[in-house]
Amino acid sequence: MKRSEKVIESFLFACSLLTILTTAGIISVLLFETARFFQVVSIWDFLTDTEWSPSFAKEQQHFGIMPLLAGTFLTTFIAMAVAVPLGITIAVYLSEYASSRVRQIVKPVLEILASIPTIVYGYFALAFVTPLIQHLFPGLELSNFNALAPGIIMGIMILPLVSSLSEDALYAVPRTLREGSYAMGATKFQTAFKVIIPAALSGIAVSIILALSRAVGETMIVAIAAGNKPTLTFNPLNQVQTATTYIVQTVNGDVANDSIEYKTIYAVGMSLFVITLLLNNISFWLKKRYQQVYK
Amino acid sequence: MAKKLGKRMRQKQVRKNKWYEYQDKSYKFIALAATGIGILVLVVLLWDVFSDGFSRIDLKFLMDSSSRKAKNAGIYAALGGTLWIMALTTLIAFPIGIGAGIYLEEYNTKGRMSNLLEINISNLAGIPSIIYGLLGLEIFSRTLMLGDTAITGALTLSLLILPIIIVSTREALKTVPYNLREASLALGATKWQTIWYQILPASIPGIVTGAILAISRAIGETAPLIVIGAATYITSVPSWPNESFTVLPIQIFYWIGKPQHDFQVNAAAAIIILLAITFIMNGAAVYLRYRWQKKIKW
What does the pLDDT look like over A33-84, one tens digit per residue?
999 999 988 888 899 888 898 887 777 888 989 999 999 999 999 999 999 9
Phi and psi at residue A116, in whole multiples of 5°?
-75, 130
Q: What is the pLDDT of residue A147?
A: 95
Rounded to two decimals, what is the model's pTM?
Answer: 0.92
What pLDDT is attached to residue B296?
65
Predicted local distance difference test score (pLDDT) of residue A260: 85
For all residues of chain A together, what is the average pLDDT?
A: 91
Query: What distance in Å separates the CA atoms of residue B203 and residue B174, rounded to the nearest whole number?
Result: 9
Contacts of B251 (CB under 8 A, 6+ apart): B66, B75, B77, B78, B232, B270
User: A13 to chain B: nearest residue by CA?
Assistant: B103
pLDDT of residue B267: 95
Which chain B residues contact residue A108 at CB under 8 A?
286
State whether A127 and B97 contact (CB < 8 Å). no
Higher pLDDT, B232 or A262: A262
Contact A23 B256 (CB under 8 A): no
Rounded to a whole number of angstroms, the distance between the first and last alpha carbons of chain A is 37
Greater confidence (A4 vs B43) lies with: B43
A109 and B117 in contact by Cβ < 8 A?
no
**How many H helices and E strands in chain B?**
12, 0
Q: Rounded mean pLDDT of A224-252? A: 91
Q: Which residue has the higher pLDDT, A271 or A255?
A: A271
How many whole angstroms separate alpha carbon A181 and alpha carbon A194?
A: 9
pLDDT of residue B2: 64
A chain contacts of residue B227, beta-carbon cutoff 8 Å = 247-248, 251
Mutate to test the interface with B, among A119, A242, A248 (most CBs of B within 10 A): A119
C-beta separation of A217 from A279 below 8 A: no
Closest CA to B49 of A128, A274, A137: A128
Cβ density class B113-133: b for 16+ within 10 Å, e for less = eeeebeebbbbbbbbbbbbbb
CB of B238 closer than 8 Å to CB of B228: no
- Residue of chain A whose Cα is closest to the Cα of B42: A113
The answer to whether B159 contacts A22, with C-beta atoms less than 8 Å apart, is yes
Residue B109 carries which DSSP code?
Answer: P
Check CB contact of A133 with chain B, cutoff 8 Å: no
φ/ψ of residue B58, rounded to 5: -150, -175
What pLDDT, on the 0 to 100 scale, is given for residue B297?
Answer: 61
User: Residue B12 and residue B162: Cα distance in Å, rounded?
Assistant: 61
- Reported ipTM: the value is 0.92
Contacts of B64 (CB under 8 A, 6+ apart): B72, B73, B74, B75, B76
Per-residue pLDDT of chain B (298 residues; tens, 9 = 90+): 566 778 888 888 888 888 988 998 999 999 999 999 999 999 999 999 999 999 999 888 888 887 778 888 889 999 999 999 999 999 999 999 999 999 999 988 777 888 888 889 989 999 999 999 999 999 999 899 898 899 999 999 999 999 999 999 999 999 899 899 999 999 999 999 999 999 999 899 889 999 999 999 999 999 999 999 877 677 778 888 888 889 999 999 999 999 899 999 999 999 999 999 999 999 999 888 888 777 666 5
3-state secondary structure of B84: helix
- Taking only the tens place, the pLDDT of each residue in A100-115 is 899 889 988 998 999 9
Give contacts of A94 with chain B, Cβ < 8 Å: 35
- Say which DSSP state B149 is in: B
Give the best residue of B52, B112, B134, B139 to mutate against chain A (max A CB count within 10 A).
B134
Give the pLDDT score at A295. 43
pLDDT at A1: 63
Cβ-nearest to A29 among B116, B139, B162: B139
Q: In which band, very low, low, confident or very high, does the pLDDT at A291 lie, cut at 50, 70 and 90?
A: low
Distance CA B24, CA B3 (A): 31
Cβ-Cβ contacts under 8 Å, A124 against chain B: 45, 48-49
> Residue B138: what pLDDT?
92
Sequence-separated (6 or more) residues with CB below 8 Å from residue A69: A243, A271
What does the alpha-carbon distance between residue B83 and residue B154 come to, in Å, rounded to a whole number? 11
Angle (deg, nearest 10), helices A100-115 and A148-171:
140
Touching check for B41 and chain A: CB below 8 Å? yes
Q: Which chain A residues are within 8 Å of B52, Cβ to Cβ?
A: 127
Which of B103, B130, B232 faces A16 most closely, judged by CB atoms?
A: B103
pLDDT band at A178; cut points 50, 70, 90: very high
